[in-house]
C-alpha cells in the first residue's frame, strides 16, 4: 500500500504545533536525549506522524536501546518512510528518516549496532515528531 502524499500548509502547521515539534519535523532539529514522551513508553498502539497523521511505527517493533530516543526495529511498512543520506556530521554519514506522506523529519536509522532485534536496525525517532494512538 503506497502512502498518500499530503501537502502541508506551513503556517497552519506552525500554529498547530509546539515550537520544538515544528523545528524537528520541518527543519530537521533533534530533541534532547532522554526527554521525549515516548522514550520509555510501553503503551501498545500506533505511532503516527505529528504533522500529517500517517502511520509510521507500531509498538510491537519498539525496543529499549538506551540511546535516549524511542527506538524501533522497523517502520510499519517500507513505504511509510523515506530514507535520505545525511552528511551533516561529515565525515560521518547517517541515514535520515522522513515521513513518506509529508516529508517531515523523524530521526535517523542505524544498522549493525548489535541489538537483538530481527532487522539489526535501530530507527531512532524523535518523540516530538509522533503521536501515539493507544489501542
Q: Which domains does the chain have, with CATH numbers?
A: 10-134 (2.170.150.20)
CA distance linking residue 123 with residue 135, whole number of Å: 22
pLDDT of residue 88: 84
pLDDT of residue 91: 85
pLDDT of residue 101: 97
From first to last of its 135 residues, the chain has per-residue pLDDT tens of 456 789 999 999 999 999 999 999 999 999 999 999 999 999 999 999 999 999 999 999 999 999 999 999 999 998 999 999 988 888 888 999 999 999 999 999 999 999 999 999 999 999 999 999 999
Please say whether the beta carbons of 62 and 39 come within 8 A.
no
pLDDT of residue 93: 86
CA distance linking residue 48 with residue 45, whole number of Å: 10
- Is 124 designated active site? yes
pLDDT of residue 89: 82
Q: Which of 49, 52, 99, 124 is catalytic?
A: 124
| pTM for this predicted structure | 0.93
Beta strands (DSSP E) in the chain are: 45-49, 55-58, 62-63, 71-72, 81-89, 92-99, 105-111, 121-125, 130-134
Q: How open is the CA angle 105-133-55, to the nearest 5 degrees? A: 45
Amino acid at each position: 500500500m503506497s502512502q498518500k502524499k499530503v501537502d502541508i500548509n506551513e503556517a497552519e502547521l506552525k500554529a498547530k504545533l509546539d515550537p520544538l515539534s515544528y523545528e524537528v519535523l520541518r527543519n530537521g532539529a533533534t530533541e534532547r536525549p532522554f526527554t521525549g514522551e515516548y522514550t520509555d513508553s510501553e503503551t501498545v498502539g500506533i505511532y503516527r506522524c505529528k504533522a500529517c497523521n500517517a502511520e509510521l511505527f507500531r509498538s510491537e517493533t519498539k525496543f529499549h536501546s538506551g540511546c535516549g530516543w524511542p527506538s524501533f526495529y522497523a517502520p510499519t511498512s517500507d513505504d511509510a518512510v523515506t530514507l535520505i543520506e545525511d552528511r551533516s556530521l561529515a565525515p560521518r554519514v547517517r541515514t535520515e528518516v522522513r515521513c513518506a506522506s509529508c516529508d517531515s523529519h523523524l530521526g535517523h536509522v542505524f544498522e549493525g549496532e548489535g541489538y537483538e532485534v530481527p532487522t539489526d536496525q535501530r530507527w531512532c525517532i524523535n518523540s516530538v515528531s509522533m503521536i501515539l494512538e493507544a489501542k
